[in-house]
Structure 1
């Protein structure tokens, strides 16, 4: 039986690749975008297997409407892919507050709104996959990406908690965390950068120069990432986090090594705040 997908941010980049891969697998898709007319070529090509829907993921009522549309059109919802998102490169101090909030609202609350709308459907079905497209930036940090990476860290934490809560009734939740991909993400990210204050030239400026040199040479292939997403949707067991790309593995490994070294260096201070004779055995039941 073909699966029913709802995919956000489908008009371009990774989202479009996932739509195309799901259709190639014989599944049916509701593809959402702020400007769904950008999907008209795919709708014309795939007929009744693909329906487009206008969606601003920051609008909770619109998110509910998208899920309702998918169920009304195809009868169920098997896979939700929370892909919509964007980032703007800027020092935190120079980031416009409205832009900061917009990045949080899209990258994090978009995931929350769609998940909230989809879960009752999947719970009644006793099955479903929620695949949150995050980033290695959800477990690392880079100067100039405070809003984007704060949202992605939140997505990772939300995914872990939700995965535990819904496992008992057959729903799987995973955060997919790619490194750089050859999409238009990088062009958008650096296209809104203000002139840097002199004090940020050494740190943020160096990162901006690195980003400029990396755009167009990313190691990640969005078509291959899309194939992994299709595979995950067919698995009974998925990890809470899945890094994709050799660059993601490298960057995460470097960041984790620093965290582990800090934890060892400060372990005595960390333990010094306990009551005397504290018993940790109860924590084993919380895993």
Structure 2
């Protein structure tokens, strides 16, 4: 039986690339986007294999309706990929309340609503795979991306907890953690807080690190994603790109060293 993938944020970037790869591999795909006209080319090419669904993940009711529409159309949902999200550039002090709330609403709550919507279907099936598109910035952080970092750290904690809660239903959970890739995420799709001159040096230092060699090729991720959706025993976490693992390894080594140096203080705080 052909498996069905439900993916959010399918209009561009990773979402469009992966949707195309899944269709070429023979999967049914329920592809959601705020503007479904961006999927017209795939509908023309793949016909009934793709079901474009208009969805704003910030709307919880829409999320539940979209999942039900996809399930009714294809008969099941085997894999969910929570890919919708955007980047917000700005220091903590620069970020407005609305900018911060919009970032968390989409990157965290949008993902949560889709996850909650699909759970009854997957529990009834006694199988499923929920793939949450996080980021290496859910494991480490960069300045000028504080609220985005926070959103992905929330996704990490939510999804690791989810994995423990749903394992008994035959449901797998994977956090995909890309390093930087040459998509529209950091350009056309990104939002920017109003800059304060006090942080000009911070921004300059950040921008100096954005060399072309650190950004991966988006299309090169398709093999990894196909291997992931086909896996019978998928990992809880999967890095994408060659920069992520060395970076995280170094940061965690430094953290462990610091924690060990404060071990005596920590143990005395236990009180017994």
TM-score, reference length from structure 2: 0.95
SS in 1 for 2:89: coil
Aligned equivalent of 2:126: 126
Structure 2 alignment gaps of length 5 or more: none
Once the two structures are TM-superposed, the CA of residue 148 in structure 1 deviates from its matched residue by 0.7
| Partners of 1:79 and 1:189 in 2: CA distance | 25
| Change beyond 3 A, Cα 1:191–1:27 | same
Distance across 1 between alignment mates of 2:123 and 2:226: 21
Tell me: CA distance 1:262–1:90, structure 2 relative to 1, closer, same or farther (3 Å): same
TM-score w.r.t. length of structure 1:
0.90
Between stretches 150-159 and 237-246, larger displacement belongs to: 237-246
RMSD over aligned Cα atoms? 1.5
- Mapped to 2, the partners of 1:49 and 1:148 lie a distance apart of 34
The answer to whether the 8 Å contact 1:137/1:152 transfers is yes
Task: Find the counterpart in structure 1 of residue 176 from structure 2.
Answer: 176
Give per-residue Cα distances to partners, 1:204-228, cap 9 Å, x unaligned. Answer: 33113433x44xx544232232322
Distance in 1 of aligned mates of 2:189 and 2:208: 13
1:83-94 matches, cutoff 5 A? 83-94=83-94
Q: Which runs of 5+ in 1 are unaligned?
A: 277-287
**8 Å contact kept, 1:88–1:189:** no
The 1:90–1:38 alpha-carbon spacing in structure 2 relative to 1, beyond 3 Å, is: same
- Quick check: 1:253 aligned with 2:249? yes
Contact 2:90 2:195 in 1 (8 A): no
Q: Deviations over 1:66-85 (max 9, x none)?
A: 10011111010001000011
The separation in 1 between residues aligned to 2:121 and 2:105, in whole angstroms, is 24
CA distance in 1, matches of 2:190, 2:73: 39
SS in 1 for 2:253: helix
- Counterpart CA distance in 1 for 2:95 and 2:271 is 42
Q: Give yes or no for contact 2:94–2:195 (8 Å, CA) kept in 1.
A: no
Q: CA deviation at 1:190?
A: 6.2
Local SS of the residue matching 2:183:
coil
Q: Which residue of 2 aligns with 1:231?
A: 227
SS in 2 for 1:93: coil
SS at match of 2:108: helix
Q: Distance in 2 between matches of 1:190 and 1:84?
A: 13
Shift of 1:243: 1.4
1:58/1:191 CA distance change after superposition, 3 Å: closer
Distance (whole Å) between structure 2 residues aligned to residue 19 and residue 174 of structure 1: 18
- Classify the secondary structure of the residue corresponding to 1:31: strand
Query: Hey, what's the Cα distance between the residues in 2 that align with 1:53 and 1:208?
Result: 37
Post-superposition offset of 1:182: 1.5
CA contact (8 A) 1:156 1:241 kept: no
Give the conservation status (yes or no) of the 8 Å contact 1:190–1:208. no
> How big is the shift at 1:191?
5.7
The aligned length equals 272
User: How far apart, CA to CA, are the structure 2 residues paired with 1:11 and 1:119?
Assistant: 24
